[in-house]
Structure 1
Amino acid sequence: MNPIQVLIRKELKVEFRSLQGLVASAMLSFMILMSLRFSVTDSIILQNSGILWASILLTGLGLVTHISTRESERGTVDLLKLAPITRYQLFLGRMIGSLVLLWILSTITLVIYVILFGNPFAENLLLAYLIVLIGCIGLSAVGTLAASSATPLHGGWMITSLFAIPILL
């Protein structure tokens, strides 16, 4: 079996075993959208998708950081560095595993967004969903790279956001 596929399966198996990161991120996304729904009254802001992207960005970075922190705390990163795979394969496996989880989170966030704010995308909902999924590719790549770099540091979960947000914006 391909080492990248093994890493993807490992990422998904570990997350689906406990669902800690995915459920917490989905709840945070719900809380962000709910608070913005009742605090923002300007109809122009509600029609734009900035609220959706802010929610996906914050919760997605939290999810990617959680995955990386969990691997660092359990010593998985050190063991993976000893495995006979290249750094590229290690990064790609971790990134695609995070990407699948981000797609699930983004789908949940988009559904909550449409329920709370109506459907501002009208007949272009499928196109909006495709754009969100493409955005998740960049978020997964940058988030995984930033989390891998910052997680070993003290307060790495905070440093990950400080590294990734300017790059993503």
Structure 2
Amino acid sequence: MPAIQAQLLTISERFWQGQPPHGVNYPARAVLNCGAFPFNFANFQPLNRFLLICCPAMIGRIRTYLIRYSRQQSGTVSYLTLVQEAELGLNLEISHEKSRLNEMLAEISMTEHEEGRPPLSCLVKVQGSKGQGDNFYKLCEKMGMGEWRTLKQNEDFLKDLIGTCREFWRDETNFQKFS
């Protein structure tokens, strides 16, 4: 497993308690959706803790899903729908798994912004909420879009950002070049 150093982004722990984690069909999905390297949990003896591995393949699936969503759907997608449809295997009821999803969304959006593209995380929101949470606007502030409180109060900011994102990814040239 020498490729782990290059591939592994984060390891977060959670109690396993004798059952595979939510979303993992043990051992069929024991690679944990991280096709970048084989990490087969079927060879492990029962553990006290289960390691959740997030790698570039998971980030790639999120990005691909959001690009496709921006081209084919309207509105925004909930965290739960993103997790289910992108087959991430995360349990959003566990705070550090939800935090990791937020970290991956932020990483994707920062990379997109650095490459001159709109942040894809503008398409993701908590189900039942009107818009984005404070962390999204703080991320926008880090990207130089303005002071986060001002951005949050500006009703047109999020709507315009979503529109820009959809327009960018619906352009066939952009899609072919950057997806």
- Do they superpose with TM above 0.5? no
Greater percentage in strand: 2
Greater percentage in helix: 1
- Normalising by structure 2, we get a TM-score of 0.34
- Normalising by structure 1, we get a TM-score of 0.35
Structure exhibiting the larger radius of gyration computed from Cα positions: 2
Higher relative contact order (CA 8 A, sep 6+): 1
